[in-house]
Structure 1
Amino acid sequence: MEQNKTALVLGATGGIGSSIATALVRHGWHVSGMVRDTAKAQNQGPAQVHWVAGDAMERDDVIRAVAGATIVVHAVNPPNYMNWDKLVLPMIDNTIAAAKSAGGARIVLPGTIYNFDPKATPVISADSAQHPNSRKGQIRVALEQRLEQAAPEVPSLILRAGDFFGPGARASWFAQAMVSPGKPVRRIVDPARGSGHSWAYLPDLAEAFAQLVDNPTRLGRFERLQFEGYVDDSGKTMVEAIRNACGSRLRSYGFPWWLMRLAAPFASFPREAAELAPYWRYPVRLDNSRLVELIGREPRTPLNEAVKTSLIEMGCLPKPAMQLTGPVLA
């Protein structure tokens, strides 16, 4: 029996949602994206996605959009990442209800490392105890618990990864701290506070998602997998990759963690940054053995190539000149 390759992507205009939608289209899926502004999505979102109007906070909108789909990619976040405590869990509840209404569509969730205490969990596997030390981490734990409780009636797939970078990854340490989008790289801000950090290049992560859902019969009703990505063992590999992409020995400066601690009581970004500081002090590695068992070798673009592509897409490096592929006529 031929697989029904129809997907709904919530958050298809965001970094990871857009990357997954693009990968699914490349793998032959019919992809719909639910957004509040369809006109904007048609101009800025990934190509070959059918856009439907709706709000992830409105259950009826999600139920209507998911009709006929076999997977629902839950890559949606609160606008501007605000009001997490009020919006994240109601949104996943709506997605679960919609998946159930579609006869048990599989929910696909990009997971994070913030569910764990990095000091106590140097290697994250499917069975690692989740004891977060941040408010966002606590919410992410509750979100995953809801998916586990919904199985087996509603199957789900969680693929956890380190910090994102790549085309479209605007809300990331790479794009918001290390370099400045739209500007030539003059210096590098280095958040590292010790050795080791895990990174995930969005096109590689999205390709892993697509390969997994292409073969659903191998997946359990509740799968919690880890994407290893790039492990920066020294804490300086990403800095060197940016230098290589720019072709310059750019100076690097430490991220002002001390300022985040001082400003934490007064503003949301410093407060969240201060909570996430331990993930830059203690190295965390993701155990991808189950992922490799399911799809074989993990997708892995060479780091220097991935970083250069990311910087070009961000407007930090000029786009390469168009290359002529045919003969030049005199």
Structure 2
Amino acid sequence: MSSKQDKSGTALVLGATGGIGGEVARQLEAAGWQVRALRRGEPQPGEQRGGITWLRGDAMNSGDVMAAAQGCGVIVHAVNPPGYRRWGELVLPMLDNTIAAARAQGATVVLPGTVYNYGPDAFPSLREDSPQHPQTAKGAIRVQLEQRLKDATSDSGQGCCRVIVVRAGDFFGPRAGNSWFSQGLIRPGAPVRSVKLPGKPGVGHQWAYLPDVARTMVALLARRDVLPAFATFHMNGQWDADGRQLAEAICRVVARRGGPRPSIKSFPWWAVTLAAPFVETLRELRRMRYLWNTPVRMDNASLVAALGAEPHTPLDIAVKETLQGLGCLGKPSSAF
């Protein structure tokens, strides 16, 4: 499924209004897929926008998901509760709706994965088969989520589906939505005056440029028939070996646009600690701080074996596109 002329595949994207879901939907459409997206409230039935068919429905409603998935060979499950809220109540029921629809259609489910499944016993190098002993409630739910998907690939009594899980680091990109890049490192919609680093000095961190993640998923879908029924892959993404390389790239991009070099500062974790008792999103961010205090790198050997190479955008280009998309660079430039 690599050319615009091949229109044989139909995919349903749940969470297409979000960062990863929207990027996967756009790249599937560009690769020749017929793409449907489910959205609450706004679209008229069958509304076409950007080559994508938008359907009215809710991922929490099993009937809506089942109807939208009719005739689909792929379901991208990229939907999450907003702002970390009500994870324990909503995440698994939404996934169950996706699994039921995938079983009914014999479809492949694509899941964007994270490092939250893993605890310190698996660090610093994470392989797909590393032990999953998470130390947060959100991580425990992630483990359950993937286990339900794995069970769905082998339970022939209710119909089987296939699953592809792509685990990556912290997302950034021109349309990534809420992310550490846009909420922690810089301030969207304004020139970059400073970059705030959440990690300890010298501690490496795993980043993932969202268009590369989406390209990886589309490439794996083209090979889904030869992959295991439950296939998991890790992306190397943009590895920041000392915790400063992404910040230095931001500074280079800003300087190329003629702006003053931003300062590099420490992220104010103290402010998060003070506000966490009153804001659920900040409580979750604080619980994830351990991922900034130790290097955690993902081993992409399995992905390279499957695809030959991992899609990879040079860091400065990825950062430039991200800052441009966040409104931090003003008018587009031909500097790259």
Matched-pair contact (CA < 8 Å) for 1:33–1:51: yes
TM-score, length of structure 1 as denominator length? 0.92
Which letter does structure 2 place at the counterpart of 1:6?
T
CA gap 1:185/1:14 in 2 versus in 1, 3 angstroms: same
| Alpha-carbon separation, structure 1, partners of 2:49 and 2:221 | 19
| Alpha-carbon separation, structure 2, partners of 1:70 and 1:120 | 34
Match of 2:100 among 72, 97, 100: 97
1:308 aligns to 2:320 (yes or no) = yes
1:293 aligns to 2:305 (yes or no) = yes
Partner of 1:171: 178
Within a 5 Å distance, the mapping from 1:29-44 to structure 2 comes to 29-39=33-43
Match of 2:115 among 113, 116, 119: 113
CA gap 1:41/1:231 in 2 versus in 1, 3 angstroms: farther
> How many Å apart are 1:68 and its aligned residue?
0.4
Matched-pair contact (CA < 8 Å) for 1:99–1:106: yes
Matched-pair contact (CA < 8 Å) for 2:85–2:281: no
Partner of 1:216: 224
| Alpha-carbon separation, structure 1, partners of 2:109 and 2:273 | 37
CA gap 1:283/1:59 in 2 versus in 1, 3 angstroms: same
Flag structure 1 segments of 5+ consecutive residues without an equivalent.
324-330
> How many Å apart are 1:40 and its aligned residue?
9.6
Partner of 1:327: none
Matched-pair contact (CA < 8 Å) for 2:126–2:299: yes
Matched-pair contact (CA < 8 Å) for 2:197–2:266: yes
Match of 2:58 among 41, 45, 55: 55
Partner of 1:10: 14
Q: How many residues align?
A: 320
Match of 2:205 among 192, 197, 200: 197
Matched-pair contact (CA < 8 Å) for 1:190–1:254: yes
**SS at structure 2 position matched to 1:50:** strand
> How many Å apart are 1:39 and its aligned residue?
3.5
Partner of 1:279: 291
Matched-pair contact (CA < 8 Å) for 2:84–2:284: no
> How many Å apart are 1:80 and its aligned residue?
3.6
Matched-pair contact (CA < 8 Å) for 2:43–2:55: no
**SS at structure 1 position matched to 2:176:** coil
Flag structure 2 segments of 5+ consecutive residues without an equivalent.
1-5, 155-159
**SS at structure 2 position matched to 1:114:** coil
CA gap 1:65/1:42 in 2 versus in 1, 3 angstroms: closer
Matched-pair contact (CA < 8 Å) for 2:74–2:107: yes
> How many Å apart are 1:322 and its aligned residue?
8.6
**SS at structure 1 position matched to 2:316:** helix
| Alpha-carbon separation, structure 1, partners of 2:118 and 2:313 | 27
% identical aligned pairs: 46
**SS at structure 2 position matched to 1:113:** coil
Matched-pair contact (CA < 8 Å) for 2:44–2:56: no
Which letter does structure 2 place at the counterpart of 1:15?
G
Partner of 2:91: 88
Matched-pair contact (CA < 8 Å) for 2:117–2:142: yes
TM-score, length of structure 2 as denominator length? 0.90
Matched-pair contact (CA < 8 Å) for 1:85–1:139: yes
Which letter does structure 1 place at the counterpart of 2:112?
P
1:270-301 Cα shifts (integer Å, max 9, x gaps): 31121110100111111111111111111111
| Alpha-carbon separation, structure 2, partners of 1:16 and 1:144 | 18
> How many Å apart are 1:173 and its aligned residue?
0.3
CA gap 1:321/1:91 in 2 versus in 1, 3 angstroms: same
**SS at structure 2 position matched to 1:170:** coil
